[in-house]
Structure 1
Amino acid sequence: MSVVVERFHELGIIRISRWCFNCFLLQGDDGAIVIIDPGMPTTADDVAPVLATMPGSVQVVTATHGHCDHVGGAAELTRRHDAEVYLPSITLGYLDGRHPRTPALTQLARTWPLLFGQPFDFAGGTGFARAALTAGFGTSRGMLWRGPRPVGGLTDGAPLPGASAWTVLHSPGHTDDSVAFWHADSATLLSGDAVLSIRGRPRFAPDTVDAEASRRTAARLRALPVEHLLPSHGKPIHARSVWES
């Protein structure tokens, strides 16, 4: 299985996927391309042929949280494209030494159906292992980061840098630093790990560090009239009401 490229022309978004790991290319302001959740060390190579077909240039690289499978390719992308990095504001604290919380293995086991929802990709599996050694957090150690210092943090209610029609939504629960991105005009939610897609249905994060925060996040996101759910894990869901699918 090779990299999967799925284009949503009406949304101005392209999904680049290896196994159950999704990265998104978003057409932003004035020709800016925003790359969201570049989780694999090979992401820069995976997106290169797709970027060659898109107008504009990569201006912003960002992630919905600091787990290794969301930032593993960020450093190489920023070097290759001279792009700016923005991470959730709480993630910036991890770069300064604050220790992140991450779901326990017993929590992660609840996501096992994701492993079988899409054909296995060897490069995706090995890429995840490499990312865990070089970037982000997800084990007992703190946050690893080899890229340039992010130029700013993502805060709740603020526009997404490089794509001002999108709004940042703080969505803690899976991790403390999790965010999602909401585009009201197209009713599109880039949900990160706050909502996964399992067997074609949305599932609010089964693996959490804070159950109460996760419940609040679920209530907040469920109140949105989502018609296009683009999760970081699992296949996108398109429906008149995603929550009823």
Structure 2
Amino acid sequence: MNMKQISEHVFQCEFELDLSIRMPIHTWLIKDDEDVYIIDTGIEKFADDLIKAVLSIGTPKAILITHGHHDHIEGAAKLVEKFNIPIYAHQKELIYINGEAPYPKKDELENTGVAHIVQPLTEQTIAYLPIQYYLTSGHSPGHVVYHHEIDRVLLSGDLFITSQEDLYPPIRKFSVDMNENIDSGAIIDEIKPTLICSSHGQSLFYNDQLYKKYVWNYRD
């Protein structure tokens, strides 16, 4: 695991998935005084390293999930057990996280390890933090992104895959509706973050041509 501080209050933890191609998985830690909020948890085998990373910078307070795919939530059970903290995801994700239905385009139920303990994300959940969430459906029905409003860092989950220069769509076979996902990406022109950080890519500085180029290249 590699942890680096990407802004005053945001730390990024990078893990590498053993596939035929290099696939980084990012989770993030948001520090608010001595409190730490965990954005996504990666897969289970990363959990012990993530626990150490959290404790190295503060006191864990909650887990916030971008969506319920296994590489974003599978490690959550260990963290919840270790820290006894709440975990939140968008209401639209709960039916899949709870194993009550498979994600659209999938035959198997998700085995998240945190079925029926994830609470619905609301404005009140993070009202006391300089963080806002936005529903960005398409990759999954309840996918959200998190924006740190002071640091102007957007934690975009699987809304995009990013390079240092461009936006790319997430993997199509794992996405419910690619055009809806691409339309959801317009959020970057609404909030205009300084930095865009995706779960499976490089950090990318925002500019007002990024989304225009992305739509032109990828929307049907």
The interval holding the TM-score normalised by the smaller chain is 0.7 to 0.9
Matched position secondary structure for 1:50? helix
Counterpart of 1:37 in structure 2 is 40
Residue 74 of structure 1, aligned match among 62, 73, 76? 76
Higher relative contact order (CA 8 A, sep 6+): 1
Note closer, same or farther for the CA distance 1:67–1:180 as it changes in structure 2 (3 Å cut).
same
Unaligned runs of 5+ in 1: 103-138
Which of 87, 90, 94 is matched with 1:88 structurally?
A: 90
Aligned to 2:117: 150
> What CA deviation, in whole Å up to 9, does each residue of 1:138-194 have, x standing for no partner?
x52112132363352125xx2653862111100011111211012233221110100
Cα 1:164–1:150, aligned 2, differ >3 Å: closer, same or farther?
A: farther
How far does residue 239 in structure 1 lie from its aligned partner after superposition?
A: 5.2
| Alpha-carbon distance between aligned partners in 1 of 2:168 and 2:180, rounded to the nearest angstrom | 16
Q: Distance in 2 between matches of 1:166 and 1:74?
A: 20
1:230 and 2:197 correspond: yes
Shift of 1:206: 5.1
Aligned match for 1:178, one of 143, 167, 178? 143
Partner Cα separation in structure 1 for residue 34 and residue 150 of structure 2: 19
Q: Distance in 2 between matches of 1:41 and 1:65?
A: 16
1:4 aligns with 2:8: no
Task: Report if the CA contact (8 A) 1:160-1:166 is conserved.
Answer: no
Q: Partners in 1 of 2:124 and 2:196 — Cα distance?
A: 19
Contact 1:160 1:167 in 2 (8 A): no
Amino acid at match of 2:159: A
> Judging changes above 3 Å, is the alpha-carbon distance between structure 1 residues 162 and 32 closer, same or farther for their aligned structure 2 residues?
farther
Within 1, Cα distance between the matches of 2:169 and 2:51?
A: 32
More displaced, 167-176 or 235-244? 235-244
Give identity over the alignment, percent: 20
4+ aligned runs moved over 6 Å, structure 1: none
Q: Residue 60 of structure 1: CA displacement?
A: 0.7
- 1:15 aligned partner: 12
TM superposition shift of 1:5: 1.4
| Residue in structure 2 matching 1:194, options 134, 150, 159 | 159
Aligned to 1:211: 178
Q: CA offsets, 1:54-107, max 9 Å, x none? A: 13x1111121001000001000010011111112211112216133225xxxxx
Cα contact 2:161–2:169 (8 A) shared by 1: yes
> CA contact under 8 A between 2:94 and 2:118: conserved in structure 1?
no
CA drift of 1:240 comes to 6.2
- The verdict on how the C-alpha distance between 1:75 and 1:217 changes in structure 2, with shifts beyond 3 A counting, is same
SS at match of 1:52: helix
Instruction: Find the residue that maps to 1:42 and give its secondary structure.
Output: helix
| Pair 1:144–1:160, CA change in 2 (3 A) | same
Change over 3 Å in CA distance of 1:13–1:163 after alignment to 2: farther
Match of 2:132 in 1: 167
The verdict on how the C-alpha distance between 1:160 and 1:237 changes in structure 2, with shifts beyond 3 A counting, is: farther
Q: Residue 53 of structure 1 aligns to a residue in which SS? A: helix
Measure, in 2, the Cα distance between the counterparts of 1:96 and 1:23: 23
Corresponding residue for residue 102 of structure 2: 99
CA separation of 1:241/1:74 partners in 2, compared to 1, >3 Å: closer, same or farther? same
User: Structure 2: any 5+ residue segments left out of the alignment?
Assistant: 17-23, 214-220
**Closer/same/farther in 2, CA of residues 167 and 75 from structure 1, 3 Å limit:** same
Structure 2 match to 1:121: none
Q: Against the structure 1 CA distance between its residues 49 and 76, is the aligned structure 2 distance closer, same or farther, given a 3 Å change threshold? A: closer
